[in-house]
Amino acid sequence: MHDVVDLTKALIAAPSITPARGAVFDVLAAALDPLGFEVERFVAGEAPDGPVENLLAVRKAGPGRHFAFAGHLDVVPPGEGWSSGAFTPEIRGDLLYGRGAVDMKGAIAAFTAALAQVPASGTVSLIITGDEEGPATFGTLALIDRMRERDLIPDLCLVGEPTSSARLGDTIKIGRRGSTVIDVVVVGQQGHVAYPHLADNPVPRLVRALAEIDAIVLDAGNDWFQPSNIEIIDLAVGNPATNVIPGKAAARISIRFNDGHRGDDLVARIAAIVHRHAPDARVDGRVFGEAFLTQPGLLSDTIGDAVAAQLGLRPELSTTGGTSDARFLSRICPVAEFGLVNATMHKLDEAVAIADLHDLTVIYADILKRIMN
């Protein structure tokens, strides 16, 4: 099954709400096996973030570069209101509909179809997880560990995320901002509003801390990244009464930051502000990914050349958008992201243009030829 449309349809037809396991990996493994790949599937982790199924496929065909393609087979829940079944692939007009069509089963199918068109050389690997849309604790990180154990670190890695914006080929991602979420809990003493001297209201202390945090300007951006931003995304007291001073107040803060910062440093900075206003407050920060940048060069130039050859345009190099598993892969080798148009990802009636699937297959095949020769 190396026709890109047929393979995309088969992957969509295997429901794979995150974390994905089972049938969807069967489909991909069956497509890779005839192409000479050694396919290893393994399950990592335990609840609550696991178990997660992962697939590492490797084909060694002599000396040369090790080029990796990374992606995910899990999808977000489809939601209600689809015009047809979310996991029943359907072609209507020029589009193929189904959850995962663009994010990112279509790209995985395109790369697999491209492999069937290019003579084997060097080492090619596919790094495919069933948990990118979820916590991502036991997905690509576990795959990286497995690759290190087998001494299979790539020279270059392409992630097939849907990076294109208005049309296929207009954008390559060469970096991503980092992400951290910080939970703050200020504890006081509950009491009657008429007797404030017998209580300790935590709300004013939390509000003062949040006001100072909200006033922070982290930076003005740089040549490759937009300015970092701090957003207060939740504020909760949970007090239904009209005559009770609450005993606890909580907030959640999200920070998206560029490569001028480190996640742990930002958590420490927020904690210091909170503790000035509320010394006994609890501050818990989780860094979901550090900012990274792959400097323009061989990888982005090769992708750009392949896009130009097929589509006649030169992609923009960008670092915008949310996080992806490239944040993990950037720790082991240069990485860039390039894939389908992202207009319908995570939406009802997610769909990919049939022509884009064919064009992406040609582009991926050209990238392979240029990188491996």
Chain segment 220-250, per-residue pLDDT in tens: 999 999 999 999 999 999 999 999 999 999 9
Mean pLDDT of 117-127: 97
Q: Which of 53, 132, 290, 356 is catalytic?
A: 132
Q: What is the C-alpha separation between 337 and 159, in angstroms, rounded?
A: 5
Residue 255 has a pLDDT of: 98
Which one is catalytic: 74, 103, 131, 133?
74
User: Alpha helix locations (H) across the chain?
Assistant: 4-12, 23-32, 106-115, 140-149, 203-214, 263-277, 298-311, 326-329, 354-372
pLDDT at 243: 97
Amino acid type, 364: Y
pLDDT of 71-93, one tens digit each? Answer: 999 999 999 999 999 999 999 99
pLDDT at 1 over 80: no
> What pLDDT score does 247 carry?
97
For 181, the enclosing helix (H) or strand (E) is: strand 178-187
pLDDT in tens, 170-224: 999 999 999 999 999 999 999 999 999 999 999 999 999 999 999 999 999 999 9
HSE toward the beta carbon, residue 169, CA cutoff 13 A: 24
Identify the pLDDT of residue 103: 97
With a cut of 80, say whether residue 270 has pLDDT above it: yes
At 317-370, the pLDDT tens digits run: 999 988 899 999 999 999 999 999 999 999 999 999 999 999 999 999 999 999
Mutual angle of helices 23-32 and 106-115, in 10-degree steps: 20
User: CA-based angle 82:352:356, to the nearest 5?
Assistant: 170
For residue 215, the tally of other CB atoms under 10 A from its CB is: 8
CA distance 258 to 319: 9
Q: What is the pLDDT at residue 322?
A: 85
- 293-298-300 Cα angle (round to 5): 55
First to last CA, the chain: 26
Catalytic, 259? Answer no
Helices (H), 15-123: 23-32, 106-115
Query: Model confidence over 271-304: pLDDT tens digits?
Result: 999 999 999 999 999 999 999 999 999 999 999 9
Known catalytic membership, residue 316? no
pLDDT at 153: 97
Closest among 121, 116, 159, 164 to 139, alpha carbons compared: 159
pTM for this entry: 0.92
pLDDT digits (tens, 9 = 90+) for 150-174: 999 999 999 999 999 999 999 999 9
Cβ atoms of 304 and 314 within 8 Å: the answer is yes
